[in-house]
């Protein structure tokens, strides 16, 4: 089952069940304590609740009737790093000084986890993601993103873009928060998948395509079978001595890193497809200094 957060032309925001590109608005007034996407996600039985809130006689909407919003309310967004071999190798090349740290964290029991975004900084589908004006080497990172409840239970999946300023991180790994955390540095969407079956970690594919002036300038694919960590392991570490009363989203790391001579430019378009979830598309902006 897929859920989306949508805005209608009258400005009202709704939660919709998505089925074959059709959007079934949920009647949120049916249950007093349920008014947000998080209320559904964090309920004991999200799928049962969605089925209860769906109005069988209400006509579905199409993509033309709605604007998709980032599927987030007040959750913090965190990210795991160096969970794929490709990321370990790229980071070691990027940062001479920090190479051994990236090497060690790939195999260490404790994963790299960092704070990625507040909800207000997140870009939804179609909204711009940003390259910092003080970065000349920035890339998108296409990441399967875990949707985790305040009880630290994995309740769903979405697509995340962990925008990264490689030059800033490469200059000194202590600059990581500046390379990762700034306005519009995180993309999320287009929907949340609440799987009917156990998530297919062995078979799920992640594709990244970057368009420039209508041409593909980069494309690559990986699979979540390449993640060196288990999802429960990452959530376990994330929840150590940390609570998330509004829930938390956890990006699970990138397995795709463009070659070192590639950097995003103003006007590019980033397309991230994860099988079973959908495609997150964002234009790229970069301001003049
Ligand atoms: O260590 C830096 C960040 C790594 C990261 O974001 C990733 O591997 O996806
Ligand atoms: Mg990342």
Task: Identify whether residues 177 and 280 lie together within a single domain.
Answer: yes
Single out the residue in 19, 34, 69 at which a domain terminates: 69
Please state the rounded mean pLDDT for residues 76-99. 91
* CATH code of residue 281: 3.90.850.10
Single out the residue in 47, 69, 91 at which a domain terminates: 69
Task: Identify whether residues 15 and 151 lie together within a single domain.
Answer: no
Pocket test for ligand 1, best of 77, 91, 102, 171 (most atoms within 8 A of CB): 91
Check if the beta carbon of residue 86 is closer than 8 Å to that of residue 100. Answer: no
Per-residue model confidence as pLDDT tens digits over 136-177: 999 999 999 999 999 999 999 999 999 999 999 999 999 999
Please give the C-alpha separations between residue 88 and each of 78, 129, 144, 176, 231, in angstroms, as whole numbers. Answer: 19, 24, 17, 15, 18
Task: Identify whether residues 98 and 62 lie together within a single domain.
Answer: no
Per-residue model confidence as pLDDT tens digits over 31-81: 888 999 999 999 999 999 999 999 988 999 999 999 999 999 999 999 999
pLDDT reported for residue 31 = 84
pLDDT reported for residue 6 = 98
- With a 6 Å cutoff on the Cβ, whether 162 touches ligand 1 is yes
Single out the residue in 15, 40, 69 at which a domain terminates: 69
Q: For residues 183 and 159, give the distance between their C-alpha atoms in angstroms, rounded to a whole number.
A: 18
Task: Identify whether residues 206 and 89 lie together within a single domain.
Answer: yes
Q: Which atom of ligand 1 is nearest to the CA of 82?
A: 8
Q: Other C-beta atoms within 10 Å of 176: how many?
A: 17
pLDDT reported for residue 97 = 80
Going by alpha carbons, the residue nearest to atom 3 of ligand 1 is: 81
- With a 6 Å cutoff on the Cβ, whether 82 touches ligand 1 is yes
pLDDT reported for residue 74 = 98
pLDDT reported for residue 96 = 81
pLDDT reported for residue 170 = 95
Per-residue model confidence as pLDDT tens digits over 198-222: 999 999 999 999 999 999 999 999 9
Q: How many domains does the chain have?
A: 2
Please give the C-alpha separations between residue 216 and each of 95, 188, 230, 249, 279, in angstroms, as whole numbers. Answer: 28, 22, 33, 30, 16
Instruction: Determine what percent of the chain is predicted with pLDDT higher than 90.
Output: 90
- With a 6 Å cutoff on the Cβ, whether 117 touches ligand 1 is no
Per-residue model confidence as pLDDT tens digits over 244-260: 999 999 999 999 999 99
Structure token digits, residue 172: 């000194």
**Side-chain half-sphere exposure of 187, counting CA atoms within 13 A:** 31
Q: For residues 216 and 254, give the distance between their C-alpha atoms in angstroms, rounded to a whole number.
A: 20
- Listed residue (12, 17, 286, 18) closest to 163, CA to CA: 286
Please give the C-alpha separations between residue 229 and each of 95, 107, 120, 276, in angstroms, as whole numbers. Answer: 23, 9, 29, 21
Task: Identify whether residues 61 and 181 lie together within a single domain.
Answer: no
Task: Identify whether residues 208 and 243 lie together within a single domain.
Answer: yes
Task: Identify whether residues 84 and 194 lie together within a single domain.
Answer: yes
What average pLDDT does the structure give for the chain?
Answer: 96
* Residue 30: pLDDT over 80: no
Task: Identify whether residues 60 and 112 lie together within a single domain.
Answer: no
pLDDT reported for residue 274 = 98
Task: Identify whether residues 49 and 145 lie together within a single domain.
Answer: no
- With a 6 Å cutoff on the Cβ, whether 112 touches ligand 1 is yes
Task: Identify whether residues 55 and 152 lie together within a single domain.
Answer: no
Task: Identify whether residues 63 and 81 lie together within a single domain.
Answer: no
What's the pTM?
0.97
Q: Other C-beta atoms within 10 Å of 21: how many?
A: 9
Task: Identify whether residues 128 and 50 lie together within a single domain.
Answer: no
DSSP 173: G
Range of the domain at 268: 76-286
């Amino acid at each position: 089952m897929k859920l989306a957060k949508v805005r209608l032309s009258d400005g009202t925001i709704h939660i919709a069940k998505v089925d074959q590109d059709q959007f079934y608005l949920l009647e949120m007034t049916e249950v007093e304590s349920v008014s947000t996407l998080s209320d559904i996600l964090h309920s004991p039985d999200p799928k049962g609740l969605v089925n209860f809130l769906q109005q069988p006689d209400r006509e579905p909407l199409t993509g033309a009737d709605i604007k998709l919003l980032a599927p987030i309310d007040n959750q913090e967004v965190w990210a795991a790093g160096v969970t794929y071999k490709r990321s370990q190798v790229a980071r070691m090349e990027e940062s001479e000084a920090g190479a051994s740290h990236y090497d060690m964290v790939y195999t260490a029991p404790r994963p790299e986890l960092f704070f990625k975004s507040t909800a207000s900084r997140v870009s939804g589908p179609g909204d711009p993601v940003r390259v910092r004006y003080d970065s000349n080497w920035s890339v998108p990172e296409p990441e399967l993103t875990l949707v985790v409840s305040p009880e630290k239970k994995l309740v769903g999946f979405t697509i995340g873009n962990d925008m990264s300023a490689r030059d800033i991180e490469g200059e000194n790994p202590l600059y990581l928060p500046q390379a990762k955390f700034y306005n519009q540095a995180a993309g999320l969407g287009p929907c949340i998948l609440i799987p009917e079956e156990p998530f297919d970690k062995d078979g799920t594919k992640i594709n990244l395509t970057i368009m420039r002036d209508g041409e593909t300038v980069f494309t690559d694919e990986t699979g979540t079978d390449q993640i060196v960590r288990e999802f429960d392991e990452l959530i376990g570490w994330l929840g150590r001595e940390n609570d998330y009363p509004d829930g938390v989203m956890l990006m699970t790391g990138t397995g795709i890193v463009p070659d070192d001579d590639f950097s995003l430019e103003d006007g590019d378009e980033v397309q991230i497809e994860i099988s079973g979830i959908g495609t997150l598309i964002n234009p790229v902006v970069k301001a003049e200094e």
